Structure 1
């Protein structure tokens, strides 16, 4: 299993960052490079507690589908999305939002995931997937930061 944390500073109030982090449209825009689209469940607007969304995307030249649920939610402090169906043996992404003391937000992402396929999956995690998934979260956060700081 791989675990990593990403910290992003955003010059916008925590509530705004929290809400935009739950936007289906913002997520799709941040993942445009992989063609990620919401194809089931909540497919537009903001997700909330218990909501499910099925994403379709292309990574490593392969089309993937993943259904996740908002499994924990405490606005505007944190939420968790977890895979309920999809390519991973486990996927859990915790999002935390804290006031930075100057009107901005410290956004912390804690991600845990495990690939399928036993030993082969663990090798893929170590060699490719760990860095790849972290880069996706960094790219997503850079998109949110640019979007929120521009408005």
Structure 2
């Protein structure tokens, strides 16, 4: 099963980074390039334990729906979301947070299984892992930008 692990250091409180990472509204901003929108479940605000969201987005020229649910939640240190329905056979996205040298360290661990058996493994190697890494890196860049600039107040103090 492919695994993507990303580490991001952010000059903001752990609580702010944790909440930005579970913000439906920030997710929409970070995925503008795929026209992602929340169409069912929790569609704005902060998602929490046992809540789900269905996203509609355009990937590889095709609109797709994907539903994920928050399955583990320990504020402000950790949460995980897992796919319930979508294009993957399965995925789990773990979000880890800790304070390190006065900054918040955010670690994403994304594991997934592609559909289509052996063909899916080939797709992973050819482009899917790189594509998913790029999406997650973009998301983390936006979390960092909002947390460090004070823009987070626009989303978390509504």
* TM-score (normalizing by structure 2): 0.93
Equivalence for 1:147: 146
Equivalence for 1:105: 104
Separation in 2 of the partners of 1:134 and 1:92? 14
Separation in 2 of the partners of 1:30 and 1:37? 11
SS at match of 1:126: helix
Equivalence for 1:93: 93
Q: Deviations over 1:76-124 (max 9, x none)?
A: 000000000110001100000001231x200000000111011111100
Equivalence for 2:69: 69
Equivalence for 2:131: 132
Aligned residue pairs: how many?
150
1:20 aligns with 2:20: yes
The 4+ residue runs of structure 1 with deviation greater than 3 A are: none
SS at match of 1:87: coil
**8 A Cα contact 1:114 1:125, kept in partner:** no
Return 5+ residue gaps in structure 2 as ranges. Answer: 151-158
Return 5+ residue gaps in structure 1 as ranges. Answer: none
Separation in 1 of the partners of 2:125 and 2:72? 28
